Amino acid sequence: MSEQSNGANKPEFWRWQENVWADESRDWRAAKAITVGIDVGSVSSQCVIVADGELYAYNSMRTGNNSPDSAKNAFKGVTEKTGLTLNDVHMVVGTGYGRVNVPFSHKAITEIACHARGANYMGGNGVRTILDMGGQDCKAIHCDEKGKVTNFLMNDKCAAGTGRGMEVISDLMQIPIAELGPRSFDVDVEPEAVSSVCVVFAKSEALGLLKAGYTKNKVIAAYCQAMAERVVSLLERIGVEEGFFITGGIAKNPGVVKRIEKLLGIQAMNTKIDSQIAGALGAALFANTLVTKQGALAPIAF
């Protein structure tokens, strides 16, 4: 095993890019209902604005040490982009690992329900199987045509099959996380998967493979394959159906995604929208439904 990565000056190979987006073709001022979904995950936090039931803007950023601050900062990022303030919002729903720590939310909904709802919006009502690989957990969800969850499991006990597991290999190889996927295909022959499920043991195994003469890319390929096998075994428990949608950070890693597709024999659906926002988007859509049913709620200042 290698040394800890606590050093402040050490490059952080595992960092995802942060970004803010708004639909420039619309003006939120014209919308009747504006709702906000906040997803405070263990690694990244998202804020999504839905105007009249349609995605309007989002901000995706790294979660800080403190959940309430991460929620506020995620929201501030969108306000800076759009000029919208909390007073213009009709309802806020929090989700994710830190959902109870969103100080200005009116309701908390589990990330399972939110991801299903968000995926249903992004992928359409044909979405049935959803895989969400978050920073510290992995969720497998089966839903109906309305985006309602029919079967799910969440593994947050073990780092294998989570974004954290990917970060560990990125750090070990000293290769930025975004390069892992492309590099995993740059190999002479596709290697066998790393045999250890446990990330700690897989790490020693990866070091052993390097010592045995594997190139870094080949080790990454073996690791991505192990990750894919692991995730597929979770998906099989809830039953895989066509209409396969991947959300969360790992959707950006083709090294894992392509291998999952190969194992399942099913292509993942494409989306133009950043799949990392699925949870927050689902939360904002739930909020929109609530506004339609019960009317707007007064903002909770922070």
Residue 49: which H helix or E strand, with range? strand 44-51
Closer by beta carbon to another protein, 57 or else 167: 167
Closer by beta carbon to another protein, 110 or else 217: 110
Which stretch in 28-36, 106-114, 120-128, 267-275 sits in contact with another protein by CB under 8 A? 106-114
Three-state secondary-structure class, residue 101:
helix
Three-state secondary-structure class, residue 142:
strand
Candidate list 18, 54, 198, 300; residue touching another protein; CB under 8 A: 198
Candidate list 70, 110, 170, 271; residue touching another protein; CB under 8 A: 110
Query: Judged by CB under 8 A, how many residues of this single chain contact another protein?
Result: 39
Hey, what are 162's tokens?
A: 């989570």
Closer by beta carbon to another protein, 264 or else 283: 283
Residue 168 touching another protein (CB under 8 A): yes
Shortest distance in whole angstroms from residue 81 CB to another protein:
29
**d(Cα 247, Cα 155) in Å, to the nearest integer?**
15
Of 285, 297, 223, the C-alpha closest to 39 is 285
Residue 100 touching another protein (CB under 8 A): no
Residue 32 touching another protein (CB under 8 A): no
**For the stretch 120-139, what's the b/e string if a residue is b when 16 or more beta carbons lie within 10 angstroms of its beta carbon?**
bbbbeeebbbbbbbbbebbb
SS percent in the chain: helix, strand, coil, step 5: 40, 20, 40
Residue 267 touching another protein (CB under 8 A): no
Shortest distance in whole angstroms from residue 1 CB to another protein:
7
**For the stretch 224-234, what's the b/e string if a residue is b when 16 or more beta carbons lie within 10 angstroms of its beta carbon?**
bbbbbbbbbeb
Task: Catalog residues that contact another protein under the rule CB under 8 A.
Answer: 1, 3-4, 6, 65, 109-110, 112-113, 136, 148-160, 164-165, 168, 196-201, 204, 211, 233-234, 237-238, 286
